[in-house]
Structure 1
Amino acid sequence: MFISFEGIDGSGKSTQARMLADTLRGDGHDVVLTREPGGSPGAEEIRALVLQGDPDRWSAETEILLFTAARRDHMERTIRPALDAGKVVICDRFADSTRMYQGMSRGDLRGLVDQLHDLMIGCEPDLTLLIDMDPETGLTRALGRQGAEERFETFGAGLQARMRDGFLALARDYPARVRVIDGNRDPAAVAADIRAVAARALA
């Protein structure tokens, strides 16, 4: 099974992805925990290009190409081999993030994202766990990390709010795949809901 985690910056999805991986391993599943952009050597190199530096260093179109290239390498070298071996793959972000951040942040390029995805990737997760979070709270959390990869956080709260609306719209468009989890709670409560959803999907 291929499970992705999505949400705005600071929503806690990375923490929850790790917690679910640990839980499933404890239940006897063979789990690969990975992330995007990244998850393979070539994709990690592209991650360094797109998540660091001046927020305006790339056009939205160039970013879409870079993220799609990273995802293709990730699929070929990490995700597909793991799925073929019968493992559970948990991915911190996947194509839905590109649909939101590159497809909506600087113009209406969602159609281009979907075209490239269909052409070069052709795969969606079996289950997407969308951690819904208040945009202001998420931005405060994200900026508080003070890491090197803060490029998209620097676009500010306005982008966070648009991305949240976009993710929720995506959940309405794909109800069979996307499950919305309230992230405005204690992490343990969020994790409990996620475990329940994942358990039903894996049953």
Structure 2
Amino acid sequence: MSRLGISFVLLFFFLMPSQSANAEKEQMPSGSVFSQLVVGSIVTTFINSEEGKMLVTFDRRTGTFTSLTADFLSENEEQEQFRILKAVRVNEVAATKPTKWNYGKWKNYKITIEEKATVAIITTAILGLIPYVGKLAAPVAALVITWKLKTGYFSAKKDFRFAGSYMLEKQHLKIWKKSNYTQLREYKTADEKIWIAWGGDES
């Protein structure tokens, strides 16, 4: 990729909305910022670090890195770093064929909530106190506010299975009316697809 090309792509990453459906951003140590954009089988990774900016592309179908460009490396240094990157080997940790579902066990939780708690606070509490609820936490927190619950009775579990390079996860969360965990008030589920390794069967 030419210097003009990387400048254009880097500008795209800077302007890209952080909540894009196909983009993920994470803060790394030492103030570095890592972003990924997935288009089909191509994963483009942008790293903005103290050293400078780097752009790397990876083809999931072939399991190979296809380019590396950095504004703080000379052309020879880029080629050397790209050679080193392509030489990296990762052992596949997922099953090559989809496995059967592993069903979790229901666990009960009681959460007492102060009246003035916000949705953000309740979401944080649910995420911290009830494992594996993931993206169910925010909508459930909104229900807690709507219903003006002071004490919430919850049951949660997680089911999962492996499929190639992914772990497929189903999150379950129940809200009960009674303290003996009877009279179901709401039952929500959510699916997660967690990429745990490069390559493999994505079915």
TM interval, short-chain normalised = under 0.3
Q: Determine which structure has greater relative contact order: mean sequence separation of CA pairs < 8 Å that are 6+ residues apart, divided by chain length.
A: 1
Q: Which has the higher strand share?
A: 2
The structure with the largest helix share of the pair is 1
Q: TM-score, normalised by structure 1?
A: 0.23
Q: TM-score, normalised by structure 2?
A: 0.23
